[in-house]
Amino acid sequence: MNPYISEGWSQRESRVLARAALRPHDPTYGPVFVRGEGSRLWDAEGRDYLDMTCGYSANNFGHAFQPLVDVATGHLRLIGHITQQSHPGRWELAEQLLSVCAYQDRGKVLFNVTGARAIETAWKAAVSSRPGRVISLGNAFHGRSIATSHLSATARAAEMVINVSEVEQLAESDFAYCACCPIGLTFPDCHVGCLDGLEAKLRRHAAEISAVFVEPALGARGYVFPPAEYMQRLRSLTSELGILLISDEVQMGLGRAGDWLLSTAQGWQADLVVLGKSLGGGLVPISAVVGRAEILDCIPPGSESETYAANPLATAIALEVIRQLRSGPWMDNGRRIGEKLRCEIAVVARDYLPRANMEGVGACAALELAHIATTRQAATEYTAQLARDCMETGLLVHRSGPLGTRIVLIPALTTNDAEVAETIARFSTAIRATPRAALD
Ligand SMILES: Cc1ncc(COP(=O)(O)O)c(C=O)c1O
């Protein structure tokens, strides 16, 4: 039962939706939304919310962004869909993606509909090019298809009783979660020592390993940004051993981390990059694998397609997304409002929670609350309550993180100063309302 919607809505929901589709654990899924504009959503009762969840970056241009709406409506009158037949948008979009992802004439592109399917495509390409096991890092999230759920090395994925062979999920201690270092070290003195175990494993078993999948920063699991040194060292190591390195930028790519790709901003290049979410402008699902031509061309001809992949409507919208990111002020604005949210929310939070830490890169703010209480459980429960109180004040945020102790704000890149100010004001009201007695 969803406690945030009326009895009537709730009964209707549970009558027709399978249990797996209900999201009672995440308070931001509570209200029933009927309209959106910019960074604002309205529920069925007419109440407004500031949307700092942004469809996990699918809505990087906010809701009902006029240039995208114009392209979509115009294109619908011209040609909406053809299945796998040729049209110029598909080639143009591939050319644009190769350019912004810096593969130019060394690269190729394969399109899919969802992020999960694109991850599977990258997986197919990797094992066709270099047979062997694939490895994923602790706490990453790569989707919810059978294969990608298994790749997402999390306790939640472990609940799935499906055995996809040849995947190895690494321990969470192999990932750089510096706010709560799993091996008790501090950056930079640690020299990213959390990578030592993985390095030993890769060196020992290099001949049996096809590829390592990474998220260059954890998205769904809490906007955790590892030091660039971690990724750079992993890149040198995999290159030395001939193992492929695949960057899942479904959430971080195309603007969220303040750049076209987080990997290149961190100073390394993947063999394959996976994109999704932002590419469809929040209007159409479209995803892509972009990367080294000789790897993608290992997938046998005709063995990878989806009915709706990169149809004329989707590519027209995606091309407008790229055009807006190239020539509009949005990347700069995203970095600017991200910085503002990080600074000002940290100031508000520390008045009540002196041990709160603010983190983030680009257009996001991740407030780490793991250290605010004497017990982890108290910190986790407080974080969940704060997220609910944010929603009560009309502010949608995510509660996530490897320990469930992070409040994450993901604004649209188009968010304006008034919306930022209102976000901070609503956060301030929420944190004042959240009881702190259990923290001592
Ligand atoms: C990093 C990452 N990879 C893959 C996916 C899966 O994308 P989709 O839900 O479109 O299948 C997600 C979705 O949240 C994601 O955040």
Residue 295 binned pLDDT confidence (cut-offs 50, 70, 90): very high
CB of 139 closer than 6 angstroms to any ligand 1 atom = no
pLDDT digits (tens, 9 = 90+) for 341-383: 999 999 999 999 999 999 999 999 999 999 999 999 999 999 9
* Protein residue closest via CA to atom 6 of ligand 1: 143
What is the CB-side half-sphere exposure of residue 93 using CA atoms within 13 A? 30
Ligand 1: which residue has its CA nearest to atom 3? 142
Main-chain dihedrals φ then ψ at residue 48, nearest 5 degrees: -100, 150
Query: Is 77 exposed, middle or buried, given 0-12, 13-18 or 19+ CB atoms closer than 10 A?
Result: exposed
How many percent of the chain have pLDDT more than 90? 78
3-state secondary structure of 179: helix
DSSP state of 29: G
List the residue whose alpha carbon is closest to atom 7 of ligand 1. Answer: 115
Q: Could you state, in order of their start, the residue ranges of all structural domains in the chain?
A: 7-64+329-439, 67-327
Q: Tell me if 142 CB under 6 Å of ligand 1.
A: yes
pLDDT of residue 165 exceeding 80, the answer is no
Inform me whether the pLDDT recorded for 159 exceeds 50.
no
Report the alpha-carbon distance of residue 255 to residue 269 in Å, rounded: 17
24 Cα: distance to centroid of ligand 1 (angstroms): 20
Q: What does the block give as tokens for 95?
A: 């050319």
* For residue 61, pLDDT beyond 70: yes
Q: Look at 136 and 421; give whichever has higher pLDDT.
A: 421
pLDDT of residue 64: 97
Instruction: Give 105-167 as a DSSP string.
Output: GGEEEEEESSHHHHHHHHHHHHHHHS-SEEEE-BT----SSHHHHHHSBSHHHHT-----TTE
Written as six digits, the tokens of 101 are 């992802």
pLDDT at 128 over 80: yes
- Kindly tell me if the per-residue pLDDT of 158 is higher than 80: no
The whole-number pLDDT of residue 258 equals 97
Q: Does 56 contact ligand 1 (Cβ within 6 A)?
A: yes
Measured CA angle at 395 (ends 391, 397), to 5 deg: 80
Neighbours of 414 (CB within 10 A): 21
**Best probe residue, ligand 1, of 251, 263, 398 (max atoms within 8 Å of C-beta):** 251
Q: What is the pLDDT of residue 1?
A: 55
Task: Check pLDDT > 50 for residue 155.
Answer: no
Counting from 1 in the atom list of ligand 1, the atom nearest the Cα of 116 is 11
Regarding the beta carbon of 251 and ligand 1, being less than 6 Å apart is answered: yes
Residue 219 in contact with ligand 1 by CB distance below 6 A: yes
Of the candidates 192, 211, 351, 355, the one whose C-alpha atom is nearest the C-alpha of residue 270 is 211
7-64+329-439 CATH fold: Aspartate Aminotransferase, domain 1 (3.90.1150)
**pLDDT value of position 4:** 67
Å from CA of 287 to ligand 1 middle: 10
Å from CA of 252 to ligand 1 middle: 10
pLDDT at position 160, please?
37
Contact (CB, 8 A) for 255 and 413 = yes
Residue 146 burial (CB count, 10 A):
14
> How many angstroms is it from 319 CA to the middle of ligand 1?
20
pTM listed for this prediction: 0.94
Instruction: Indicate whether residue 220 lines ligand 1 (CB < 6 A).
Output: yes
CB of 213 shorter than 6 A to ligand 1: no
Structure confidence at residue 154 (pLDDT): 42
Ligand 1 proximity of 115 Cβ (cutoff 6 Å): yes
Position in ligand 1 atom list of the atom nearest CA 249 = 1
CATH 3.30.2020.30 for domain 67-327: no
Please identify, by atom number, the ligand 1 atom nearest to the C-alpha of residue 117: 11
pLDDT band at residue 169 under the 50/70/90 scheme: low
Confidence class for position 397, pLDDT limits 50, 70, 90: very high
d(CA 400, CA 326): 31
Whole-angstrom Cα distance, residue 24 to residue 268? 39
Q: Which residue's alpha carbon is nearest to atom 13 within ligand 1? A: 143
SS3 69: helix
